Amino acid sequence: MTSHRPPDLGAVIVSAGQVTLLLAALDDAADYKRDRAATCADCTGQPCTTCQWRLQAADAYDHLAAQMIQATEAAATRQYAPGHAADPEAGQ
């Protein structure tokens, strides 16, 4: 099975406060796209091409937020796991 994910371009370090801000921005952006689609005058019975794109973008924002939450939780679990040293050189 072939993955349709883009290649990993590396990691970006953000603080907990920045993660919270990014998640809120993604949530707001998804809501905005869905609101625009819901009030579109060109949609009659089904979403127009523009609104299909808006709804896809909203789903992409939700997916990215879910990935960020999952990665944040996994990092917190690793950091606080029993026997895990916060300082990688502490065990040497």
Look at residue 7 and tell me if it is in a domain. no
Look at residue 9 and tell me if it is in a domain. no
**What is the pTM assigned to this prediction?**
0.69
Chain center to CA of 5: 14
Look at residue 32 and tell me if it is in a domain. yes
Q: Over the stretch 16-48, which tens digit does the pLDDT of each residue have?
A: 789 899 999 999 999 999 999 999 998 888 889
| DSSP code, position 5 | P
> For residues 28 and 57, what is the distance between their CA atoms, to the nearest angstrom?
12
Largest CA distance in the chain: 67
Look at residue 24 and tell me if it is in a domain. yes
At 90, which amino acid appears? A
Q: Over the stretch 36-92, which tens digit does the pLDDT of each residue have?
A: 999 999 888 888 999 999 999 999 999 999 998 888 888 777 766 666 555 555 544
Domain limits at 61?
A: 16-78
Q: Give backbone dihedrals phi and psi of 47, rounded to 5 degrees, phi first.
A: -65, 140
How many structural domains compose the chain? 1
Provide the 3-class DSSP secondary structure of residue 22: helix
